[in-house]
Amino acid sequence: MAAYKTVVVGTDGSDSSYRAVDRAAAIAADTGATLVIACAFQPASERSVERAQDTLGDDVAYQVVGSNPAEESVRTAAERAAKAGATKVETVVVDGDPVPSLTKIVIDRSADLLVVGNRGLNTLAGRILGSVPSEAARKSHVDVLIVHTT
């Protein structure tokens, strides 16, 4: 099996997502792959803040609404990735929902691995409404690593 060449990891600025970044960075370091750290955000509006609060809770919603928090999230993640040994690190901030955004980035970058944290996977809301890790695994056409981060 060939080594991964491009690894995409999603982050929302939470401690949990940074643990997924750490794992993705270790894989990129071990294989010499390019690591693409991505964060999707919703433009700041009253409706998007309410949607994010409903989905993520008050403590995390502020981190993914508006581009400034998203830029800070990927900057912090890139610093962590470098400390973990990743040498080729790129960041992407996109306006949109997480799974469609990650899927598009995987395609655009010709990635061969998508890494996400397991947050929301084993929650009641995640089972009823869906979660980023389960939806990413269902919709991805490349290998998906779901990192145990919670």
User: Are the C-beta atoms of residues 106 and 142 closer than 8 Å to each other?
Assistant: yes
**Residue 59, pLDDT score:** 52
pLDDT at 44 over 70: no
Percent with pLDDT over 90 in the chain: 50
Domain count for the chain: 1
Name residue, tokens 């990413």: 136
Any domain includes 1: no
CB of 63 closer than 8 Å to CB of 14? yes
- State pLDDT tens for residues 106-131: 999 999 999 998 865 444 433 433 47
| Torsion over CA: 72, 15, 132, 85 (sign) | positive
Q: What is the pLDDT of residue 121?
A: 46
Residue 111: closest CA among 19, 4, 1: 4
Encode pLDDT of 53-96 as tens digits: 565 555 554 455 455 788 999 999 999 999 999 999 999 999 88
Query: Who's near 115: CB < 8 A, 6+ residues apart?
Result: 7, 8, 9, 10, 20, 21, 23, 24, 27, 144, 145, 147
Does residue 72 belong to any structural domain of this protein?
yes
Q: For residue 41, tell me if it sits in a domain.
A: yes
pTM above 0.75, yes or no: yes
The Cα 109–Cα 73 span in angstroms is: 20
Range of the domain at 104: 6-147
Residue 72's CATH number: 3.40.50.620
109 lies in a domain?
yes
> Does 106 fall in a domain?
yes
